[in-house]
Amino acid sequence: MAWLLLIFLCLGSSRAHFLNITSKFEPDLEGRLLSLLLTLQTEKLYDTLLIYGRDCAFPSLSSRLQVPTVLVSSGSTNFEWNFSSLTLILSCEFQAEREENYRTLMKLQVARRLILLRGDFQPETECDFYSKKDQYNIAMVKENFDQFGVVYSCRLFQDRNYEEVNISDVTQIFVEQFRNMHGAPIRTITDNLEPRSMATQDPKTGKKKWIGFVANLINNFIEKVNATMDMPQKLTEVDGKIFFVNISKWAADDLLDIGMTVDSTWEMTNFDTFSYPYLTSSYCLMLPLPDLVPHNEIYGVIIDHGVLGVLLVLFLIFSMMLIYIQQKSFRGLRLTRVLMNDMCLRGFLAQPFPFPRQSSRKLKLVCLLLCFASLMTTTMYGAYLHTFLYSPPSEPVVRTISDFEKSRYKVAMNWAEIDMLRSEKHRKLHRVSDDRIHTFEDFQKFENLRGSFDNDFVFPVTSVRWSTYNEQQKLFQHPVFYYSDDFCLSRYSILSFPIRRHLPYRELFEDHILRQKEFGLLNHWIDHSFLDMLRLELTKRTDFSKPLEDKRKICVDDLYWVLGLYALALGIGGCCFALELLRSLNYWDRLKEYKWRLLAYLISYLSYLISFLKFKRF
């Protein structure tokens, strides 16, 4: 009996000691929490547990769930969270999560959180606390969870900000709250830049609304999540105008939820305040189409230097062959006789020349080739001349900075784009001289000037905006501008929506962007942008192209170079005639013989010179 009594005493002591150890962890509470975690895994799979705090049942549960677990007993991590996004966050008590790592907060913002409440904390207080931190997937259990099995789940869009869910019910603990926002406002503001956002009036309600390939996506998202649009009118610039750079800044300062604009991210290194890319666009210069070549310059345009060199070589070859065949020797070859060969000069100008008597077959063949060459040359240049006089060609387009510096154009830019122009990345454009840049402080004035198609300037424009200008030019008598791929500020510019940093429905909004693009709505809106602008009278039907002159009319001024060369040729002929007279031994006798002929020549030359000077004057 003594041994039996001793055994019972030992067993009782061991059981008391065991209960004393396990009472701290409340096995009944632990079992109910395990059941809750399994339920949450059934609702939505999670593959990582993140536990903040210590001295609670959560750490011991992780081994039973067989899920990778990260324990943060201090309440904050000292590393950036790079694990899977399917994370469930467990907090041992209210405010046990004191995360200070900025990147970790961003990545875990929408993660589900289960909090173990102790003491007399109220669920509405905790839900309000986490909502101010833009964390809405919050569920809480109290220490008496093993007795009542009640989970307090935060609800945003209802009178009471939480809901009591019994673990035995079929009601979900975590719900997608932002799929139906019950008329909650979404703060946004538009830059009113066509064609991405254009103000109009709803024919049904009579209220003001915005359309465009940017505004339409915002409108569809607001309608999809059953929200309302809130435009804070106090957010304006000093002069009362809104610019997309300011909208991006306001979104970064958490003054807006989503900006009704798109901004380039080509210089950004941190994309926390920008959404998933909405579209890509090049950002180049629109240049005026080159002017037509004036008629007085066409005579020089048709003369190609290479062809002229070939004709000169052929002239020398024919001249030497004629001299050699006629004299049967190279002794008569002199530079003056070769260059001033009368037969070759007349032949190449398609004029008749005296054919040598008793010519050999070789001479006849050379003369025949000379006639054929003159026929081909005069026909070719005559065809060029008639074609260019009827339809003059355009002057060369601007392709280099040196061409641009020699042109009459200036670059019209907004103040926000000057840094882009001067960037070392744009090796072509950063060397543009300051006197060639005209800066506008008011973006609306810049838009008005660009919309007037002033061909004294070149304008930076995105490829999307250029598509509307190109459609507008189809209403003109002839195009005025073209889109240059040689001068670009950015050939691959990514445009995204500015959003606030801790936007709780960021993933929902980005999914909406992808779906709208996948359905082809973005391309449809861009293709119909010009028609919308016409319908809203934001684009004028005015023909900004200057009327073309009738190029088929040739004025006296167009013959300036021809008359000038003719006068020069008459002068050279007069000089040659005078030299021939001076070389003669009987100079005065020959002068008396040709005095009337010389006098007539001088009078005709002087009268032509006087008429040419009068034409040049007027």
pLDDT at 22: 38
Three-class HEC string of 426-478: CCCCCCCCHHHEEEECCHHHHHHHHHCCCCCEEEEEEHHHHHHHHHHHCCCCC
Q: Where are the domains of the chain?
A: 25-175, 295-390, 556-617
The fold for domain 25-175 equals Rossmann fold (3.40.50)
Query: What's the Cα-to-Cα distance from 40 to each of 72, 114, 153, rounded to whole Å?
Result: 21, 10, 12
CB 545 within 8 A of CB 477: yes
pLDDT at 400: 80
Report the distance separating Cα 456 and Cα 185, nearest Å: 46
Report the distance separating Cα 149 and Cα 145, nearest Å: 5
Instruction: Return the axis-axis angle of helices 595-617 and 560-583, rounded to nearest 10°.
Output: 160
What six digits make up the tokens of 411? 């670059």
The pTM of this model reads: 0.76
DSSP 54: S
pLDDT at 55: 80
Residue type, 522: L
CB 402 within 8 A of CB 428: no
Report the distance separating Cα 332 and Cα 317, nearest Å: 15
Query: What's the Cα-to-Cα distance from 332 to each of 324, 328, 335, 411, 603, rounded to whole Å?
Result: 8, 9, 10, 63, 38
Interior CA angle at 394 toward 388 and 399, to 5°?
145
Query: What's the Cα-to-Cα distance from 122 to each of 114, 154, 507, rounded to whole Å?
Result: 15, 12, 30
What are the DSSP calls for 287-316, one per residue?
EEPPPBPPHHHHHHHS--HHHHHHHHHHHH
Beta-bridge mates of residue 198: 211
Phi-psi bin for 75: left (phi > 0), alpha (psi -120 to 50), beta? left
Report the distance separating Cα 618 and Cα 614, nearest Å: 6
pLDDT at 575: 80
Query: What's the Cα-to-Cα distance from 439 to each of 267, 396, 401, 566, rounded to whole Å?
Result: 21, 27, 19, 49
Per-residue burial over 441-465, b = 16 or more CB atoms within 10 Å of its CB, e = otherwise: eebeebbebbbebbbebbbbbbbbb
Report the distance separating Cα 339 and Cα 336, nearest Å: 5
Interior CA angle at 195 toward 189 and 198, to 5°?
45
Distance of CA 537 to the CA centre of its chain: 25
Interior CA angle at 223 toward 218 and 229, to 5°?
60
pLDDT at 20: 42
Query: What's the Cα-to-Cα distance from 614 to each of 488, 558, 607, rounded to whole Å?
Result: 49, 15, 11
Report the distance separating Cα 604 and Cα 601, nearest Å: 5
Distance of CA 382 to the CA centre of its chain: 46
Segments in the chain below pLDDT 70: 1-27, 236-242, 267, 332, 358, 419-430, 548-554, 556, 580-618
pLDDT at 422: 64
What six digits make up the tokens of 602? 């001088």
Question: Which residue bears the tokens 């035995």?
Answer: 168
CA max distance for the chain:
177
